[in-house]
Homo-oligomer: A and B are copies of this chain.
Amino acid sequence: MGRPALTRDAVLDTAAGLVKEHGPAALTMRGLAAELGTAVTSIYWHVGNRESLLDALAERTAAGLGEIRAAGRTPARRVVSVALALRRHLLDHPHLVAMVHERGLTERMFLPAQQALVHEVHAAGLRGARAASVVRAVTFHVVGHVLVERARERAPLRHPGEPDLWDTGAADDDPALARALARPADPERLFDLSVRALVDGLLTRG
C-alpha cells in the first residue's frame, strides 16, 4: 500500500517527463518531489543534486537515439536522407535535445547516425580522414541548423520597422530579393537547399 518504493529510475522517469513537456528550466527539485509524492530531500539521496540529475537525464536521452536508415539511390541523396531524418528527430524532442546539447553530449547521441553516414560516404568513394571530415561536417550542419531554427521560433514578435529594413533600398536593385529577405525564412526549404548544397560540395571536391 502507499506509493511504490522510490527508486533512482522512478526519479529519472518523472523528471524526464517534466523536462519533455516544459523544458529544463521548469524542472525544480521541489516540483519534482511534489510530482513524486515524496519529500524534496529524498531525491537527493537517489540522484545527488539537480546538476547530476540533469546529467543523468542527458546521458539517458543521448543513448536513446536509435538506428537511422538511409534512403535514396545515389550516395549524395542517401546522405541527405540521413540528415533529414536526424533533423526530424531533433525537432520532435526539442527540450530533451537542448539538454543534451547544453551538456555537450550531442556527438555521442549521434553515433548511430554517424555510422550510417560513414557507410554512405564510403559508398561515395571517400576514405580515411577525408571521409571523417565529411561525416562531421554533415552532423555539425544538421545540429547547427536545428539550433538556429529553434531560436527563431522563440523569437518575440517582430519589432516594428524591422522587416522593411530590406525594403528601403538596402538591397539596391533587386526587389525580389528584398521581398524574400523581408519574409521570415521557411526552415524546411532552407534546410533542404543547404544540405543538398553542402553534401554536393563535400562529395565533389578533390
Please give the residue numbers on chain A whose beta carbons come within 8 Å of chain B beta carbons, in ascending order.
Answer: 55, 101-108, 111, 114-115, 118, 122, 127-129, 131-133, 135-137, 140-141, 143-148, 151-156, 159, 162, 165, 170-171, 174, 176-177, 179-181, 185, 189-190, 193-194, 196-202, 204-205
B165 near A111: Cβ-Cβ < 8 Å: yes
CB distance from A86 to the nearest CB of B (A): 13
CB distance from A106 to the nearest CB of B (A): 6
CB distance from A132 to the nearest CB of B (A): 3
B residues less than 8 Å from A133 (CB atoms): 180, 189-190, 193
B176 near A127: Cβ-Cβ < 8 Å: yes
- With beta carbons under 8 angstroms apart, the residue of B106, B156, B181, B204 that contacts A104 is B156
Chain B minimum-CB-distance residue to A104: B155
B residues less than 8 Å from A170 (CB atoms): 115
CB distance from A51 to the nearest CB of B (A): 11
CB distance from A163 to the nearest CB of B (A): 10
A171 near B201: Cβ-Cβ < 8 Å: no
- With beta carbons under 8 angstroms apart, the residue of B55, B106, B135, B156 that contacts A151 is B106
